[in-house]
Amino acid sequence: MRTTPFHPRLSELNDQGLYTHWQGTLSALRYSHAPKHEYFAVRNGVGVFDSSPLCKYAVRGPDAERLLTGALVRDVRTVRDGQAAYTLWCDDRGGVMQDGVLLRRTGEDFLLTAARPALGWFEELATGLEVELEDVTDAFAMLAVQGPRSRTVLAEVAGLAGAVEGLAWSEHRSATVAGTPVTLSRTGYTGDLGYELVVPEAAALDVLDAVLEAGRPHSIRPFGEEALMTLRIEAGLPLVDVEWHDSRLAFTDADRVTPSELGFGWMLGGVREGRRFVGAEAIRRELSGRTSRWATTGIVVDWADWDRLHRDAGLLPPKSEHPLPYESMLRSGDGESEVGYCTSFVYSPVLQRHIGIARVRPDLAARGTELRLELTIAHRTTTVRVATTRMPFFDPERKKS
Whether the predicted pLDDT of 326 surpasses 90: yes
Confidence of residue 114 (pLDDT cuts 50, 70, 90): very high
Whether the predicted pLDDT of 186 surpasses 90: yes
Confidence of residue 359 (pLDDT cuts 50, 70, 90): very high
The alpha helices in 224-355, defined as continuous H runs, are 225-234, 280-289, 303-312
- Cα separation of 376 and 388, whole Å? 21
Whether the predicted pLDDT of 362 surpasses 90: yes
Q: Beta strand 194-200 with 180-185: parallel, antiparallel or unpaired?
A: antiparallel
Give every CB contact of residue 338 below 8 A, 6+ residues apart in sequence.
Answer: 329, 330, 331
Handedness of CA 308, 312, 314, 320 (dihedral sign): negative
- Cα separation of 287 and 71, whole Å? 19
Q: Beta strand 328-331 with 84-90: parallel, antiparallel or unpaired?
A: unpaired
Q: Please enumerate, by residue number, every residue annotated as part of a binding site.
A: 196
3-state secondary structure 312-349: HCCCCCCCCCCCCCCCEEEECCCCCCEEEEEEEEEEEC
pTM, two decimal places: 0.97
Q: Which domains does the chain have, with CATH numbers?
A: 7-52+138-223 (3.30.1360.120), 62-130+258-292 (3.30.70.1400), 295-398 (2.40.30.110)
Instruction: Calculate helix-pair angle for 225-234, 35-44, nearest 10 degrees.
Output: 50
State the chain's mean pLDDT as an integer: 97
Mean pLDDT of 163-168: 96
Q: What share of the chain is helix, strand, coil (3-state, %, to 5)?
A: 25, 35, 40
| Percent of the chain at pLDDT exceeding 70 | 100
Per-residue model confidence as pLDDT tens digits over 54-97: 999 999 999 999 999 999 999 999 999 999 999 999 999 999 99
Q: Please enumerate, by residue number, every residue annotated as part of a binding site for substrate.
A: 196
Mean pLDDT of 156-185: 96
Mean pLDDT of 98-105: 98
Mean pLDDT of 343-364: 98
Per-residue model confidence as pLDDT tens digits over 190-210: 999 999 999 999 999 999 999
- Cα separation of 311 and 309, whole Å? 6
Mean pLDDT of 172-184: 96
Burial of 390 (0-12, 13-18, 19+ CB in 10 A): exposed
| Percent of the chain at pLDDT exceeding 90 | 99
Confidence of residue 1 (pLDDT cuts 50, 70, 90): confident
- Whether the CB-CB separation of 371 and 329 falls below 8 Å is answered with no
